[in-house]
Amino acid sequence: MKLKKIYDFLNQISPFELQEEWDNSGLLVGCFDNDIEKVYLTLDLDEGLIEKVEENSLIIAHHPLIFKPLKNVIPTSFSTKLLVKLIQKNISFIAMHTNFDKTHLNRYVAENVLNLKGEAFDFVYTAKIDKPFDEFAEFIKEKLNLQCLKIVKCNDFIKTVSLTTGAGMSLLPYIKTDLFLTGDIKYHEAMDAKIRGVSLIDIGHYESEKFFADALYRDIKDLDLEIVKINSENPFYVK
């Protein structure tokens, strides 16, 4: 199947025009005329993953490999080193980042992983839960397989919850629920949330977005292609 046909299908289910101005989703490596027989779905790229991927295939990842303009392609940085490896193996690369957050990923994690029932708007999924904070926190820990919990507890009972996968603390001023689930929470952001009376549970960046392959697979599994779900490794571990 031509890469252009795959790209057009992806653009139909999650339009690339929905991405944020600072984002760099879309076709980042490859040519629309390339013939693709095998597609790999992953959250990110790393060296181990690229070694496993067959030549002349396509990788669709959540995070872009390139965010800022490159002045050279000398393999001394994360992005340039992996870019060289992709080109050497003639592997095409498409990123579906903030557009997919808005159309698929937040809803998928909320409904299919956490069994929440609510509504999604832009980057935020909101639901009613009516549960004690500690009980719901343990539920989140189990469902996302978190090794430990980093929390800001402002209320003993949670009526409503909002979720943004990845790093969503820039959205805090717009959160009107009792609890906000997101990742990469910084110290002063936690202080801000406490002043606002918004409880937090840090659900991790990798831990909350590792479901990208599962979420996308549901929509593209019927294409006439071999599709492989393969994830990059989490660079962090808890000792």
Instruction: Quote the domain boundaries for residue 131.
Output: 100-208
Range list of H helices, the chain: 3-13, 47-52, 78-88, 98-100, 106-108, 133-143, 187-196, 205-209, 212-220
Task: Say if residue 128 is in the same domain as residue 174.
Answer: yes
Pair (45, 132) in one structural domain: no
The answer to whether 158 touches 178, Cβ cutoff 8 Å, is: yes
- Tokens 């697979």: give the residue: 217
Q: Does residue 236 belong to any structural domain of this protein? A: no
- Indicate whether 52 pLDDT > 90: yes
C-alpha span between 215 and 24 (Å, rounded): 20
Cβ–Cβ under 8 Å, residues 158 and 179: yes
Whether residues 42 and 135 share a domain: the answer is no
- pLDDT 10s digits, 190-224: 999 999 999 999 999 999 999 999 999 999 999 99
Q: Judge if pTM exceeds 0.85.
A: yes
My answer on whether 16 and 81 are in the same domain is: yes
* Predicted pLDDT at 20: 97
More confident residue, 239 or 196: 196
112 and 59, same domain (yes or no):
no
Domain containing residue 168: CATH number: 3.40.1390.30
Establish if 112 belongs to a structural domain: yes
pLDDT, one tens digit per residue, over 147-171 is 999 999 999 999 999 999 999 999 9
Q: Would you tell me how many other CB atoms lie within 10 Å of the CB of residue 152?
A: 18
Residue 239 pLDDT level (bands cut at 50, 70, 90)? confident
Residue 98 is predicted with a pLDDT of 98
Both 184 and 116 in one domain: the answer is yes
Does residue 235 lie within any of the structural domains?
A: no
Q: What is the pLDDT of residues 72-131, one digit of tens each?
A: 999 989 999 999 999 999 999 999 999 999 999 999 999 999 999 999 999 999 999 999
Same domain, 27 and 62: yes
79 and 109 part of one domain = no
